[in-house]
Amino acid sequence: MYDVIIIGAGPAGLSAGLYAGRDKLSTLIIEKAKDGGQIVITAEIENYPGSILEESGPTLINRMSAQATKFGVEKVIDTVVDMELEGKIKIIRCKKETYEAKTVIIAAGASPVLIGCPGEKELTGKGVSYCATCDAAFFEDFEVYVVGGGDSAVEEAIYLTKFARKVTLIHRRNELRAAKSIQEKAFRNPKVNFMWDTVVRELRGDGILESMVVENVKTGERLEIVADENDGTFGVFVFIGFKPASDIFQGKIDMQDGYIITDDNMNTNIKGVFAAGDIRVKSLRQVITAAADGAIAAVQAGRYIEDNDYSFTNLLVGGGLENDTM
């Protein structure tokens, strides 16, 4: 039995592992693929305090992972299929094994909804982005395009005007879905332009985004937008939705629009279960806030264990070991 099981090895999960390991808590991180989550596809990171020059997602995650391992954190590659979170002993069932712990930190993350067009995957981090706060500075004085029409898309388009010389919002309908107050700000901004009834069909480029094919959904007409020859590239920021990796937790924990609800100490509605990072309800999803969440969750997990009696006798009498063979 572990003191802490952490689900997910992104910045939140690795930060939680680091803090739990340093606190001498036996800790297991369960990750279904590879460490890092979304950040490993980021070519450059400039807004994480203390990051090295030419920092990238992989370099930052490699150091985070090594730190967690240094303090005795175990890691397994496995996929969670079910769990029992109520009670003093938490049971996490995966495809390969079943694991038990006194506390659980859910740091499974979230991911942006993709356009789904050719070239998107290959050019992500090379002109295609899903985070204006992360990447806006790389497009200072360039042209950028924002795909979407909701609150996030319009707000990010306005934000990008601080950096780009021109921002064009591409929306598949002839009117925005964003709140009227946000729309009005965008319409008043001279840098914001609109491409109505339009979808992105293809992104092209040899190692960097160089052109984009768009289609008018009413006429079927296609147009290739080519980067300014003096720039060589442009930016495409996609804001058509975000999906937390929370399907497996549905019905087991309180959520809001698929995101796990926590208090400021990362407590969920279930005692001994915490959530950290992009999977929880929060106002800013960045590496730095994920790392902070993970640290808080680990500290609170340690305090929860200290405040509860996990002696063998107490667990036996309370039924906490009922699933064990003796």
Query: Which residues form the catalytic set?
Result: 131, 134-135
Going edge to edge, which strands form the sheet with 222-226? Answer: 198-204, 211-216, 222-226
Distances (CA, A) of 2 to 71, 89, 281: 15, 10, 27
Question: What is the phi-psi region of residue 219: left when phi exceeds 0, alpha when psi lies from -120 to 50, beta otherwise?
Answer: alpha
* Pairing between β-strand 90-94 and β-strand 80-84 as defined by DSSP bridges: antiparallel
Residue 303 CA to residue 188 CA, distance in Å, equals: 51
What is the 3-class SS of 5-24, one letter each residue?
A: EEECCCHHHHHHHHHHHHCC
Among residues 10, 22, 11, 8, the alpha carbon closest in space to that of 298 is found at 22
Its sign, for the CA torsion 284, 115, 45, 28, is positive
